């Protein structure tokens, strides 16, 4: 007899999690609580209620977390200009700590004994969900069906549904791409993408037009920053999730935000995936632009040096860790004077910075000018500076050392 009486499941209402509801009921003879989060995936989440009810679920949580997602997770990550392995803007990774946190909170509210998720045993999400859960509730029991059952194909899942009268939408032909979406991005994996030589099919993309099909006239936008976060677009104040929604639309319409990469998963394998991150692509470029005039040189370089580590921490699932909090404290401290406005030109897949201004700018025209600087900068000072910095090189060369 299982000691698991109640489980909180991260529930999408799709095939996998619908099967998991019944599988948990059958395997553990337990009550299932479902949790469905709206983090901007672009699909209605309310239909999940009827699907859960049809499976006998009594406690159903459906929550709009878009504002919290962008404000407390996406924005803090972009203050660091975070990119994993030079390309990936961590769209899937950054959503997992929020979901893990709510799973644990709901488990505490409902008196559940365990949590469960539908992540497969091959990917990173199982790690992210569970690391977060254990950090927030050390003794929690985690049930990962994909590591226990033998339903390892769509055909077996569908057969399970038929046997147990589980209502799911049946699609003929090939399975769709494995996709994950939220306000920051949408990802695509599987089918022809499993061959890293095969080009992604054009009709796969959902959020953006092909750059060659984007308008022939550029689009200009202005982003206003306060302490490293975007607070207005073209002078109109917006909430964090409204900022990202707007940027996704304007960037997608201009063919911005597509990438096709092979990344190194934390579990050890290489994986090929395609990602659309329209708004995030703009945010990264614009944030670096406003920092270029407001951050001290050494602070900016320090941020750049720790960014790969910070990205790795998020990618691997350690958002709820002391090292991430320590890095975040440093990053957030640097953003005090990252205020001002950036003007961008969007054109056929490109994001060009064409202007930046700030009352906190460290750019001094009197010093930087190529014209008469009225004595603001004395070129003669450079002679001693250069000789001192060359001293070690001159000594080594005088000893006959070769570079």
What distances in angstroms separate CA 19 from CA 5, 170, 178, one per listed residue?
A: 18, 13, 17
Say which of 66, 79, 96, 258 is annotated catalytic: 96
Q: Point out the annotated binding site.
A: 10-18, 37, 88, 93, 118, 120, 124-125, 128, 178, 187, 263, 275
Structure tokens at 32: 């299932």
Q: Point out the annotated binding site for ATP.
A: 10-18, 37, 118
Say which of 178, 271, 292, 361 is annotated catalytic: 178
321 classed as catalytic: no
Q: How far apart are CA 336 and CA 313, in angstroms?
A: 24
| Beta carbons of 344 and 282 less than 8 angstroms apart | yes
Q: Point out the annotated binding site for L-aspartate.
A: 120, 124-125
> Could you give the 3-state DSSP secondary structure of residue 191?
helix
175 classed as catalytic: no
Structure tokens at 283: 């945010």
The span from the first CA to the last CA of the chain, in angstroms, equals 72
Q: How far apart are CA 348 and CA 22, in angstroms?
A: 47
96 classed as catalytic: yes
16 classed as catalytic: yes
CB atoms within 10 A of CB 110: 16
What distances in angstroms separate CA 178 from CA 144, 275, 392, one per listed residue?
A: 18, 12, 56
Say which of 16, 38, 113, 229 is annotated catalytic: 16
Q: How far apart are CA 8 and CA 32, in angstroms?
A: 6
| Beta carbons of 194 and 272 less than 8 angstroms apart | yes
Say which of 125, 180, 229, 356 is annotated catalytic: 125
Q: Point out the annotated binding site for L-citrulline.
A: 88, 93, 124, 128, 178, 187, 263, 275
SS3 track for 292-348: HHHCCHHHHHHHHHHHHHHHHHHHCCCCCCHHHHHHHHHHHHCCCCCCEEEEEEEEC
CA 317 to chain centre: 12
Structure tokens at 240: 């964090």
Cite the active site residues: 16, 96, 125, 178
């Amino acid at each position: 007899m299982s000691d698991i009486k109640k489980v909180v499941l991260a529930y999408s209402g799709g095939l996998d999690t619908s099967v998991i509801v019944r599988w948990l009921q059958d395997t553990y003879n337990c009550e299932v609580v479902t949790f469905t989060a709206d983090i901007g995936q672009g699909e209605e989440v309310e239909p999940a209620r009827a699907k859960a009810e049809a499976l006998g679920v009594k406690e159903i949580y459906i929550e709009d977390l878009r504002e919290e997602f962008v404000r407390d997770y996406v924005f803090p990550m972009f203050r660091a200009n975070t990119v994993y392995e030079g390309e990936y803007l961590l769209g899937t990774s950054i959503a997992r700590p929020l979901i893990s946190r709510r799973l644990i909170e709901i488990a505490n509210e409902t008196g559940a004994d365990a949590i469960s998720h539908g992540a497969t045993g091959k990917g990173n999400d199982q790690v992210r969900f569970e690391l977060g859960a254990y950090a927030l509730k050390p003794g929690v029991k985690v049930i990962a069906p994909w590591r226990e059952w033998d339903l390892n194909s769509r055909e077996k899942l569908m057969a399970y549904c038929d046997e147990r009268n589980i209502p799911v939408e049946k699609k003929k032909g090939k399975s769709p791409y494995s996709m994950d979406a939220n306000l920051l991005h949408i990802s695509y994996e599987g089918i022809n993408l499993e061959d890293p030589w095969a080009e992604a099919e054009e009709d796969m993309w959902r959020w953006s037009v092909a750059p060659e099909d984007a308008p022939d006239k550029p689009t200009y936008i202005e982003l206003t920053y306060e302490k490293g976060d975007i607070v207005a677009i073209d002078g109109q104040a917006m909430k964090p999730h409204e900022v990202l929604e707007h940027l996704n639309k304007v960037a997608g319409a201009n063919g911005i935000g597509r990438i096709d990469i092979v990344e190194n998963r934390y579990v050890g394998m290489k994986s090929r995936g395609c990602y659309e991150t329209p708004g995030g692509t703009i945010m990264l470029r614009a944030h670096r632009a406003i920092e270029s005039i407001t951050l001290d040189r050494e602070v900016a370089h320090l941020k750049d040096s720790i960014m790969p580590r910070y990205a790795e921490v998020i990618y691997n699932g350690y958002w709820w860790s002391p090292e991430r909090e320590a890095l975040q404290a440093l990053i957030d401290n640097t953003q005090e004077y990252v205020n001002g406005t950036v003007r961008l030109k969007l054109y056929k897949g490109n994001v060009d910075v064409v202007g930046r201004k700030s009352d906190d700018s460290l750019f001094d025209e009197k010093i930087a000018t190529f014209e008469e600087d009225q004595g603001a900068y004395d070129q003669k000072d450079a002679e001693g500076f250069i000789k001192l910095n060359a001293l070690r090189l001159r000594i080594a060369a005088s000893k006959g050392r070769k570079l």
